[in-house]
Amino acid sequence: MPPVNPQILGKLEHSQNVLETPPSGHPTPAKLPSRNPTRSFWIDSSPDVNPLAGQGSQDPLPSEADICIIGAGFTGVGVAYHLIELLNNASLSIKHSLSIVILEARDFCSGATGRNGEHLTPAAFTRFAQRRASFDTVEAIKSYELEQHTTSLLVKIIEENGWASDVDLVEGGHISLLFTEKEAKNAHNDFDMARQAQLNLDGVEWLSKEELEKEYGVPYPGFRRPGYNVWPLKLVTKLYQHAQAHARQYASLSLHTRTPVTAVTHETTSTYTVVTNRGSISCSRIVHATNGYASHLLPFLTSPDGIIPARGQVMTTRASVGTDQIKISSWSGNKGFAYWFPRPVTRDTEKPLIIIGGGQEAAAPSRELYVDDDSETHPLVGKALREFLPSIFEGKYDPHSEPEMEWTGITGYTKTGDPFVRPSNSCNYCWLMYPSPGWCRSRLTRSESR
Ligand SMILES: Cc1cc2nc3c(=O)[nH]c(=O)nc-3n(C[C@H](O)[C@H](O)[C@H](O)COP(=O)(O)OP(=O)(O)OC[C@H]3O[C@@H](n4cnc5c(N)ncnc54)[C@H](O)[C@@H]3O)c2cc1C
């Protein structure tokens, strides 16, 4: 089959308008996470993969805690992990051990972290011109450095603890394909601007159409940047287990899954009550790590100026040929709106399983923005994803084969694309999106400096 133009996706400028325009004109707060989410490869492909799935769901809730973290994804568990590391490493004179409780509406790590595309790839320089125009050069550089810092820190944690094979860490770099001359021109422009601004571009390599055709059988130019792939649920499980085992005398950590928080009320200047379907906890500090669902408990974050829920879709599909013909690398195309990764296999002739996600643009006009329900997939997004790989890798994917699994997940966007991390006025309350305390530090510094 001759390659067809895969330009079905990737219309960022149109997405921006939709992002700022709620479908009904009146956005409503997000609902609680759906009770019957679609089944994802990361969570549901084997019965043993989520040992913490129902952890603490039957245990009585404590009546009090120092810190309540709402949400057991990368962000919530990352906060607990770093807090405990901090307590262990700092010479603090703490009068009593800090009690940290994580509350999760569904199974452990069943939000976006358990349903994503598994790419651990910092942006490197992509969209530099846009970020510089939106902020300024210094802030644009900070945002790239933060992504690099987050990636390096996670990889360091994985390697120092000897978890690489447990969490399926693959270091293979990430190739972005450039389908049109305009895309190629913009990418070179971003790169040149970033280089002038002295951003670290180590490991970025331009690849000609001929090189990519020869090596991978795909007739488009592109560039490679440093990047990894990882099984997100397995990594977050390790982070939780490590944090709990290292809590020692300074802290205690517990997890209560299948415990949706339905309200947070402010009792005194220093006490909040976290209300759940199984009882209430009185807390002095609260971390909202609820991603696209944030506005359920914090209605003032109802979009478009707050946190906009958006549904992403991913599927697993089997290649028609072995890894002798499909080399392992992680990929994206159409400005990052389709991303895929052939999972490594043990034999050259074995046909790799491809995780492919993206394609929201096919769901016009909403583009899956303002959607907070991951119990369904979108048929048009599914169609776009099914057609994508057969259209660009001639003969390597069967256009008629059906995915082995297909699922959705909800993530939260802001209209500027900025992460959203803020304390409340009293500083007892933190809203977090994006999986790194590094983001938190940066955003606090940034907003405080204004
Ligand atoms: C389809 C898809 C593909 C993606 N692909 C990638 C990728 O390849 N690479 C990448 O870096 N990022 C990717 N992302 C983004 C990435 O997954 C998220 O940025 C990251 O997982 C966010 O982690 P989190 O902990 O903030 O949110 P989540 O993992 O969503 O965790 C939030 C948790 O809060 C819980 N919760 C919500 N409300 C309540 C409540 N009221 N009470 C109790 N619990 C509650 C939810 O159930 C959920 O478990 C993708 C996202 C999606 C949806």
* Structure-token pair, residue 360: 């929201």
Q: Give residue-wise pLDDT tens across range 88-125.
A: 887 666 667 899 999 999 999 999 999 999 999 999 99
Element spanning 176, H or E: strand 174-177
CA-closest residue to ligand 1 atom 2: 116
Cα distances (Å, whole numbers) of residue 198 to 110, 123, 144: 39, 15, 12
Amino acid letter, 170: V
CA distance 281 to 185: 55
Helix axes 137-160, 232-245, angle to 10 degrees: 70
Return the bridge partners of 251, or none.
98
What value, to the nearest 5°, has the Cα angle with vertex 138 and ends 136 and 141?
105
70 pocket-lining for ligand 1 (C-beta < 6 Å): yes
Question: Does residue 57 have a pLDDT over 90?
Answer: yes
CA-closest residue to ligand 1 atom 37: 290
Specify the pLDDT at position 12. 46
Q: How confident is the model over 214-225, as a mean pLDDT? A: 93
Residue of 166, 38, 172, 23 whose CA lies nearest to 112 = 38
* Structure-token pair, residue 415: 């209209």
CA distance 14 to 319: 32
37 pocket-lining for ligand 1 (C-beta < 6 Å): no
Ligand 1: distance of its center to the CA of 112 in Å? 3
132 pocket-lining for ligand 1 (C-beta < 6 Å): no
Average pLDDT of the chain is 87
Residue 4 C-beta-side C-alpha neighbours within 13 Å: 10
For a mutational test of ligand 1's pocket, the pick from 34, 236, 291, i.e. the residue with the most ligand atoms closer than 8 A to its C-beta, is: 291
Question: Does residue 202 have a pLDDT over 70?
Answer: yes
* Structure-token pair, residue 448: 């405080």
Q: Looking at 14-18, 308-312, 443-447, which range is the least confident one?
A: 443-447
Specify the pLDDT at position 428. 45
Specify the pLDDT at position 249. 78
Ligand 1: distance of its center to the CA of 412 in Å? 8
Specify the pLDDT at position 449. 28
Domain boundaries, the chain: 43-112+233-301+418-448
State the Rg of the chain over Cα: 22
Tell me the CATH architecture of domain 43-112+233-301+418-448: 3-Layer(bba) Sandwich (3.50)
Specify the pLDDT at position 314. 98
Q: Give residue-wise pLDDT tens across range 227-280.
A: 999 999 999 999 999 999 999 778 999 999 999 999 999 877 778 999 999 999
Q: Give residue-wise pLDDT tens across range 366-419.
A: 899 999 999 999 999 999 999 999 999 989 999 999 999 999 999 998 887 777
Confidence bin at 443 (pLDDT 50/70/90): very low
CA distance 448 to 267: 27
Specify the pLDDT at position 17. 64
CA distance 308 to 257: 24
Specify the pLDDT at position 418. 77
Element spanning 245, H or E: helix 232-245
Q: How confident is the model over 48-66, as a mean pLDDT? A: 97
Specify the pLDDT at position 346. 77
Ligand 1: distance of its center to the CA of 96 in Å? 32
Q: Give residue-wise pLDDT tens across range 287-296.
A: 999 999 999 9
Specify the pLDDT at position 267. 76
Question: Does residue 154 have a pLDDT over 90?
Answer: yes
CA distance 393 to 215: 12
The alpha carbon of residue 331 and the mean position of all alpha carbons in its chain are separated, in whole angstroms, by 16
CA-closest residue to ligand 1 atom 1: 312
